[in-house]
Amino acid sequence: MKRMILFGSGVSLLGIVGLGTLVIWPIGLKPNPIELIGDVDRGAYLARASGCIACHTDFEGGGAPLAGGVKLDTPFGALYSANLTTDPEHGIGDWTIEEFAQAVRQGISPEGEPYYPAFTYPFYANFTDQDIADLWAAFQTVPAVSQPAPSHQMAFPFNQRWGLKLWRAAFLEPPRTGPIEGNDPVWNRGRELVEGATHCAACHTGRNILGARNSDDEHFAGNPSLPGGNKAPAIDHETLQSRDWTVDALAYALKTGITPSGDAFGGSMGEVVLQGTQFLTDADRQAIATYLMDHHSGG
């Protein structure tokens, strides 16, 4: 009996030590110094394409641009988007460009803590240093707003950020943005945008009970249970073709929000067009449509 008690105590101690190690275990890679000159206009364009304005501006509440506070209801609790203005206390005004790069590409805060995957950083992992420099230059032009975003309201154990280290180890996947040999530049540009900056799979791919995308067998197959009670239809090429979409019709819808049947996008997709894709170039919208209508060729 004494041996069993000692054994049980030892197991408990090992468990505590293991948990403590996990809590303090560092994650991510330290970014190399970025000394490139950023292009403000290109950075603003990339921010639009990436959904930064839509997700970090509380339009309904009359919030200032990029001041955060947008509520996202999830099965695990409520999340609020962060303040991305140049305010040094509540925004990113005291960050370095390297800390910004680590946040955008790796989903890790300046303090070394993992961000919740509602932040679509997995799609931005292949952003180049020039992309980061351009985004950084654009964000430096945003007026400071001294207003903290509301605290997340996550139920236990999802309010324990160290647990996200396990989630990352199990589910974090690299983006599929690289060009596929044999496809033309328009298709490859569409792939770069769809699988990267515009992160279409974030909404249009089903997820498991822990919130990870089922990318292997449900990529673009739709998601009936988006946060807030919304749903996203399938956008695989077979479904799009069966619903009379064409490349030109899809590119037009990404600019205007008008579907081939004459209806208008509603809900979150309407917001995507209003705050994002309508600002893209005709060439980029055409590239997105080209890829989505044929993404089986390497997607």
pLDDT for 21 = 65
State yes or no: pLDDT of 177 exceeds 60: yes
* C-alpha distances out from residue 269 to 38, 41, 254, 257, Å: 30, 25, 9, 8
Average pLDDT over residues 212-224: 92
Q: What is the pTM of this model?
A: 0.89
The CA-CA-CA angle for residues 110, 113, 115, to 5°, reads 100
State yes or no: pLDDT of 152 exceeds 50: yes
pLDDT for 261 = 86
pLDDT for 31 = 83
pLDDT for 11 = 42
Indicate the DSSP class of residue 114: B
Average pLDDT over residues 184-205: 96
Q: For residues 96 and 173, is the Cβ–Cβ distance under 8 A?
A: no
More confident of the two residues 225 and 56: 56
pLDDT for 25 = 58
Q: pLDDT tens digits, residue range 155-165?
A: 898 899 989 99
Minimum mean pLDDT range among 190-194, 235-239, 293-297: 293-297
pLDDT for 267 = 81
